Structure 1
Amino acid sequence: MPPSTYREVRLAARPGRDLGPEHFEIAEVPLRAPAAGEVLVRNLVLRIGAATRTLMADAHGLPMASYEPGRPLRGSALGEVVAAPGTSLSPGDLVRHDFGWQQYATLPAANVRRIDPARWPDPAACLSQGFAGWLAVDRVARIRCGDTVLVTGAAGGVGCVAAQFARLRGAGRLVGTTGSRRKAGFLLRELGVDAVLVRGEGPMEEQLRAAAPEGIDVLVDTVGGEQFQSALALARRRARLVVVGALSGQAAGGTRSHVALDTLALCSRGITVSGLSATDHRASAERWEEEFSAGLREGTLTFPHVRLSGIDQAPGALLDLLAGRHLGTVLVEPT
């Protein structure tokens, strides 16, 4: 039997530049039974993402609405159906939804998606942020055999997957950026990256010139700022630059990430710059899951992640993610 109450993480107050524990509140609330057409889900795993920080601000022009103080935070979660009256779901079914940051969720059945556990060696891998990285590599940049590819934030949830697919698609030289020597070692040993640029160990452009002296053909950018500008400086003719994130701005509490663009370089070298939002490509989600899960089963892909236990760990997990302390996708088991 489900409990009469559960815990959820709420936005206590909108943060300014600095985010701290005081901006979160863990509340105990009554558990509401589902009405006909609704589903009660016990959340098993929730994903912590940098976008949560952006949505804590009173942001405008984003594909999702900002969080409201006093209301629970949202985020992708994997859960188990407890009850689903008047629906095609059954108790015990695994489902994915966007009402994480809480131990239980009661929501319309139309807002959940059934997950086939036989498809996934670890069902939590369905929460991978790699969809955006796969789209960048496969659908936008369309990597060709022999391309030199740069993935910024390559040890993050998106970057880890983008780097692996870049190699599978034939990248001739694969370069990544990260924030520590520990992560650089992981990228070199575990993901087969050829060279790693480490933030803080000298100007990024100089590091990139040494790692890719002939320039780059493809950029998958999750960071922005100096790293994007360095890639643009080293972009070869007809290079494809794909922007899937802006962690440099998000980590600092901003909702903007500004860089200077040399438009003459863009047109004279035929460089394309594409902004990519995974929300615009929902029709490709099934194909992505098929390929990613097959790679995990066959051992050609991995799902780097960290998993923490307890709903009270979620706020600290976000703070640590923004500070660059975690590697891969960050997951929290809320119960």
Structure 2
Amino acid sequence: MRAITVVPGAADRTRLEERPEPPEDDGSVLVEGHLLGICGTDVDIVRHGYGTPPPGRPRLVPGHESLGRVRDAPPDSGLATGDAVAGIVRRPDPVPCPPCAVGDWDFCRNGRYTERGIKERDGFAAERWRADPEFVVRLDPALGDSGVLVEPASVLAKAWEQVTRITARSSARPRRTLVTGAGPIGLLAALLSTQHGMETHVLDLDDSGPKPTLVRDLGGFFHTGDVRDLGLVPDVVIECTGHGPLVFELCGAVAPNAVICLTGVSSGSHSVRVSADELNKEMVLENRVIFGTVNAARRHYEQAAAALLRADRPWLERLLTRRVPMGDFTDALDKGAEDIKGVVDLRA
């Protein structure tokens, strides 16, 4: 079968190659890959050396945003031939730590987890892949190609689960969300915000391309400029840029009791002068919370699939702006002005 392989940090060594069929010890469910979503993590792996191949091997099959169809599954798996599915990325550590032991591998305590296409385990950039049933999520066929968005949406489902838990500490219910960044993660964050009944605002650097219309079509409000000049006082912030200085600006621009969720990781080296004492005073006296979130457990994939199914199908399809064959995988790493989300067609 064909698979894309990379040497992390060596972009010129990315290639499409023939590989053996996925081994049965990868899992009892055999899946035919259809689409692979591309995100910033893939860029970091290919170009900046993030990620780790399986032990003893120099090359990694990338890809953690998957959509496929079941070719074979055990009778008691809850899956049947032809089912549309997405693969779960993280695998619990072998010890396991207390969170991994109960399925909360996204909160692994000892770091010995593995991740498909990222950390010590091959990903989904292959014509076929295997997984055990507990790491395969069946999707409603009505999602169509939009099912490839389940993995990134799972990160936001987890974020909103945590936001809901934290805001429950107060009798005052949050009403307004600010999402910073209008890339795929930001737009999915805005989608889930509207589904939570929030007045939703999205801030981005650029108002060209399809992003403003996509936000407005959700019933949200699109903004550019400095966060301090928006005239907004959000109760919830979903930060999707990973831009460190912006995080500090947000801490002083939110409502009392506000919650700021960080979903982005910066690869830059920006520095900013901050009054730590003033920041500490604001956070304490205003009951504010700032937290980070990464990855997702199985329930978050299921929540994401349900959220996408509630969304407008044409709106979701407009997020998939670029499709390339397997041989052009590296081309999908670069975005044009009109691009939101690039995907690789694993059948082409």
TM-score by length of 2: 0.70
CA–CA distance in structure 1, aligned partners of residues 327 and 259 of structure 2: 42
The correspondence of residues 1-335 of structure 1 with structure 2, limited to 5 A, is 6-15=1-10, 21-31=11-21, 34=24, 38-55=28-45, 66-67=52-53, 69-84=58-73, 88=77, 90-97=80-87, 98=116, 99-105=123-129, 107-110=130-133, 112-118=135-141, 120-122=142-144, 124-125=146-147, 127-128=149-150, 129-140=152-163, 142=167, 147-154=175-182, 156-172=183-199, 174-197=201-224, 204=225, 207-211=226-230, 213-225=231-243, 226-246=245-265, 249-250=266-267, 262-279=279-296, 281-296=297-312, 302=316, 304-320=319-335, 326-327=339-340, 329-335=341-347
Other-structure match for 1:62: none
TM (norm. structure 1) is 0.73
Measure, in 2, the Cα distance between the counterparts of 1:35 and 1:130.
28
Inter-partner Cα distance in structure 1 for 2:149 and 2:136: 12
Q: Is the 8 A contact 1:47 1:100 kept in 2?
A: no
Do 2:180 and 2:241's aligned partners in 1 also have CA atoms closer than 8 Å? yes
**Over residues 272-300 of structure 1, what are the superposed CA-to-partner deviations in whole Å (9 max), with x where a residue is unaligned?**
10111233x43343234224313347x8x
- Whether the 8 Å CA contact 1:37–1:86 is kept in 2: the answer is no
**What displacement does 1:67 show?**
3.6
| Alpha carbons 2:9, 2:45 under 8 Å: kept | no
Cα deviation, 1:24-78, whole Å, max 9, x if unaligned, reads: 222222436758963433211111122223455565xxxxx63464232132322
What is the identity percentage for the equivalent residue pairs of Structure 1 and Structure 2?
18
Q: Which amino acid aligns with 2:124?
A: G
Please give the secondary structure, in 2, of the residue aligned with 1:122. helix
Structure 1 position 316, deviation (Å): 1.7
Match of 2:93 in 1: none
Residues 101-148 of structure 1 show CA distances to partners (whole Å, capped at 9, x for unaligned) of 12222x343465252444x33254253312222333354155976733
By how many angstroms is 1:223 displaced?
Answer: 1.0
Question: How far, CA to CA, are the matches of 2:176 and 2:73 in structure 1?
Answer: 50
Give structure 1 stretches of 5+ with no counterpart.
Answer: 1-5, 16-20, 60-64, 198-203
State the alpha-carbon separation in 1 of the partners of residues 6 and 31 from structure 2: 22
CA deviation map 1:244-286 (0-9, x unaligned): 122xx24x5xxx887756323222322110111233x433432
Q: Which amino acid aligns with 1:326?
A: D
In the other structure, the counterpart of 1:18 is none
How far apart, CA to CA, are the structure 1 residues paired with 2:192 and 2:332? 27
1:223 maps to amino acid: T
How much has 1:242 moved relative to structure 2? Answer: 0.5
Q: Which amino acid aligns with 1:121?
A: L
User: Which residue is 1:3 aligned to?
Assistant: none
Counterparts of 1:46 and 1:139, CA distance in 2:
27
Change (3 A) 1:171 1:79: closer
Q: Distance in 2 between matches of 1:274 and 1:189?
A: 28
- Contact 1:219–1:242, Cα closer than 8 Å, also in 2: yes
Q: Is the 8 A contact 2:322 2:339 kept in 1?
A: no
Q: RMSD across aligned C-alpha pairs, in angstroms?
A: 3.5
